[in-house]
Amino acid sequence: MYTVNAIRNICLLGHSGSGKSALAESLLYMTGAIDRMGKNADGNTVSDYDPEEIRRNISISTSVIPVEYHNTKINILDTPGGFDFSGAVMEALRAADAAILVLSAKDGITVGFEKAWNYCEERNMPRFVYISKVDEDHSDYNATFNALRERYGNKIAPVIVPIWDASHKVTGIIDVLNKRAYEMQNLKRVEIEVPEDKVSVIEEFNDALKEAVAETDEALMDRFFEGDSFTYREMITGLHQGVRELSLFPVLCGSGVNCLGSLMLMDHIVDLFPNPVEGNYHKATTTDGKVEEFVVSPGGVPAAFVWKTVSDQFGKYSFIKVLSGEITPDTTLVNARTGDTEKLGRMYVMCGKKNTEVKVLSCGDIGAIGKMDKVKTGDTLCDPRKVVSLKQIPYPKACYSMAIAPKTRGQEEKVGTGLNRLNEEDPSFTVVNNPETKQLVISGTGDQQLDVLVSKLKSRFGVEAVLTTPKIAYREKIKKTVQAHGRHKKQTGGSGQFGDVWIRFEPQEEQDEMMFAEEVFGGSVPKNFYPAVEKGIQEAVQKGPLAGYPMVNLKAVLYDGSYHPVDSNEMAFKMAAILAFKEAMPNAGVTLLEPIGSLKVTIPDSYMGDVIGDLNKRRGRVMGMNPDNKGNTVVEAEVPMAEMSGYAIDLRAMTQARGSFELNFERYEEVPKANQAKIIADAKAAE
Model pLDDT for residues 462-513, shown as the tens digit of each residue: 999 999 999 999 999 999 999 999 999 987 666 788 999 999 999 998 777 8
Measured in whole angstroms, the distance separating CA 571 from the mean position of its chain's CA atoms is: 53
Q: Is the pLDDT of residue 139 over 80?
A: yes
**328-362 burial, b for 16+ CB within 10 Å, e for fewer?**
ebebebbbbbeeeebebeebbbbbbeebeebeebb
Q: Is the pLDDT of residue 433 over 90?
A: yes
Q: Is the pLDDT of residue 205 over 80?
A: yes
* Cβ contact 511:553 at 8 Å: yes
Q: Give whole-number Cα distances, 66 to 9, 63, 101, 353, in Å.
A: 9, 10, 18, 12
* Cβ contact 544:476 at 8 Å: yes
Assign 555 to helix, strand or coil: strand
What is residue 281's predicted lDDT score, i.e. its pLDDT? 65
What value does the mean pLDDT of the chain take?
91
Number of separate helices (H) and strands (E) present in the chain: 16, 35
pLDDT in tens, 100-119: 999 999 999 999 999 999 99
Q: E strands of 359-510, at which residues? A: 366-370, 380-382, 388-390, 400-406, 430-434, 439-444, 465-468, 475-477, 482-490, 497-507
Q: Give strand pairing partners of 127.
A: 99
Q: Predicted confidence band at 45 (pLDDT cuts at 50, 70, 90)?
A: confident
Q: E strands of 534-620, at which residues? A: 554-562, 591-604
Of the listed ranges 61-75, 87-101, 562-576, the least confidently predicted one is 562-576
Q: Judging by DSSP bridges, how do beta strands 7-13 and 72-78 pair with one another?
A: parallel
Q: Is the pLDDT of residue 71 over 80?
A: yes
What is residue 38's predicted lDDT score, i.e. its pLDDT? 82
What is residue 512's predicted lDDT score, i.e. its pLDDT? 78
Measured in whole angstroms, the distance separating CA 364 from the mean position of its chain's CA atoms is: 25
- Give the chain's domains with CATH numbers: 4-272 (3.40.50.300), 282-390 (2.40.30.10), 400-468 (3.30.70.870), 476-589 (3.30.230.10), 592-686 (3.30.70.240)
- The amino acid at residue 527 is K
pLDDT in tens, 564-596: 888 888 999 999 999 999 999 999 999 999 999
User: Average of pLDDT values for 117-123?
Assistant: 93
Percent of the chain whose predicted confidence (pLDDT) is above 90: 70
Among 42, 65, 63, residue whose Cα is nearest residue 54: 42
Q: Judging by DSSP bridges, how do beta strands 156-158 and 249-253 pair with one another?
A: parallel
Q: Is the pLDDT of residue 641 over 80?
A: yes
Q: Predicted confidence band at 313 (pLDDT cuts at 50, 70, 90)?
A: low
Of the listed ranges 236-250, 307-321, 341-355, 529-543, the least confidently predicted one is 307-321
The burial of 655, by beta-carbon neighbours within 10 Å (0-12 exposed, 13-18 middle, 19 or more buried), is given as buried
Ramachandran category for residue 3: left, alpha or beta (phi over 0 → left; psi -120 to 50 → alpha): beta
Q: Predicted confidence band at 57 (pLDDT cuts at 50, 70, 90)?
A: confident
**Rounded-to-integer distance, Cα 95 and Cα 115, Å:** 18
